[in-house]
Amino acid sequence: MIAIEVHLDADTAATMARDVREGLLLERKELSPKYFYDDRGSQLFEQITELDEYSPTRAERAILAERSAEIVAAAGTPRSLVELGSGSAAKTRHLLDSMREAGCLQTYVPVDISEEITHETARLLVEEYPGLAIHGLVCDFEHHLERIPDSDEGRLIAFLGGTIGNLYPEARQEFLARLAGLMRPEDRLLLGTDLVKDSARLEAAYNDADGVTAEFNKNVLRVLNRELGAEFDLDAFEHVARYDEAEARMDIRLRSLADQTVWLEQLDLAIEFAAEEEMRTEISAKFTRERLRDVYGEAGLEMGGWFTDVDGDYALSLARAL
Ligand code: AVJ
């Protein structure tokens, strides 16, 4: 009942090296948020999701706990659930439960970058859902979307957690358009998005009192030190997170505390930072219903369902390909 395909590039490391070099050589230095998530980074993110200041994860869980049945019905009782960035599938069980209750559940397709987690999750789920077929994909879903198994029996493609907010408008548009291109008329996308709210609350969510987000942010430097033989001094940078009202997104950076030169052995590269210079490590876009409708429209998708938590802080929306 379990089949897992691994599509990790032999050159994942080379891709990272290329990516990092490119980002560090920009006039405004930048690193991809992809590289936050080694084991330590994933643990730190788990801690973030439990912070008082950070509500998106709780809000999304509440929506799924309360309205999964409604979501599954609105999605046309799909036979399979495809989940992009499935991880431990913690919130997914609500959807699987509702699909089982509706009598439509056949296949779960977890898509994740971690082979270990995908195997473990699959193992647990076949026990919890007798008869469930699991067809897992281990890959970077941004690059390997086309590997998602096709089906004419209705798929619910879930992309939860608000991760879409990490993409710049251009990449987001390209990603959604590619997804739309893979979707049959009966398929539905279920997308999690954090919503625009009071900027003080947003800034607090990314500047928590315990400094967990600062540690998470700096973790990317640890990853580069390990993976690329870099020599970043974590104490020589500080965490900065501001809400950019014009772009409706959080803008997360590391600010150099001094003039410094950092050597990256495996890139054979020395990078200079001026004191106060900021390097962007992440954006996290916040949406409104109207804005998201437009984003969908531009990608060849049409919004067909909108589910928020009671406070209207977070939304799950359904969309179909036009
Ligand atoms: C996992 C990308 C949704 O953007 O809020 C949390 C990551 N960064 N705190 C987000 C994150 C800093 C998170 N996402």
Q: Minimal CA–CA distance to 112: which of 259, 265, 6?
A: 6
Interior/surface letters 134-169, b for 16+ CB within 10 angstroms, e for the rest: bbbbbbbbbebbeebeebeebbbbbbbbbbbbbbee
| pLDDT at residue 279, rounded to an integer | 98
Q: How far apart are CA 127 and CA 111, in angstroms?
A: 19
| pLDDT at residue 277, rounded to an integer | 98
CA angle 65/48/229 to nearest 5° reads 130
What's the gap between Cα 161 and its chain centre?
Answer: 6
| pLDDT at residue 90, rounded to an integer | 84
Alpha carbon of 179 to ligand 1 centroid (Å): 22
Alpha carbon of 126 to ligand 1 centroid (Å): 30
Q: What is the pTM of this model?
A: 0.96
Taking CA atoms only, the protein residue closest to ligand 1 atom 11 is 45
| pLDDT at residue 187, rounded to an integer | 98
Continuous H helices in 230-308? 289-298
HEC per residue, 64-120: HHHHHHHHHHHCCCCCEEEEECCCCCCCHHHHHHHHHHCCCCCEEEEEECCHHHHHH
Cα distances (Å, whole numbers) of residue 176 to 1, 25, 76, 210: 30, 28, 21, 35
Taking CA atoms only, the protein residue closest to ligand 1 atom 2 is 163
Alpha carbon of 87 to ligand 1 centroid (Å): 15
| pLDDT at residue 141, rounded to an integer | 82
Q: How far apart are CA 248 and CA 184, in angstroms?
A: 32
Alpha carbon of 222 to ligand 1 centroid (Å): 18
Alpha carbon of 210 to ligand 1 centroid (Å): 16
Tens of pLDDT, residue by residue, the chain (322 residues): 899 999 877 677 888 999 999 999 999 999 999 999 988 998 999 999 999 999 999 999 999 999 999 999 999 999 999 999 987 788 899 999 999 999 999 999 999 988 888 999 999 999 999 999 999 999 888 888 999 999 999 999 999 999 999 999 999 999 999 999 999 999 999 999 999 999 999 999 999 999 999 999 999 999 999 999 999 999 999 999 999 999 999 999 999 999 999 999 999 999 999 999 999 999 999 999 999 999 999 999 999 999 999 999 999 999 999 9
27: CB partners within 8 A, 6+ apart: none
Other beta carbons within 10 Å of 33: 20
Interior/surface letters 262-287, b for 16+ CB within 10 angstroms, e for the rest: bebeebebebebeeebbbbbbbbbbb
**For ligand 1, what atom is nearest to the CA of residue 205?**
9
213 lines ligand 1 (CB under 6 A): yes
Q: How far apart are CA 51 and CA 162, in angstroms?
A: 16
| Overall size of the chain counted in residues | 322
166 lines ligand 1 (CB under 6 A): yes
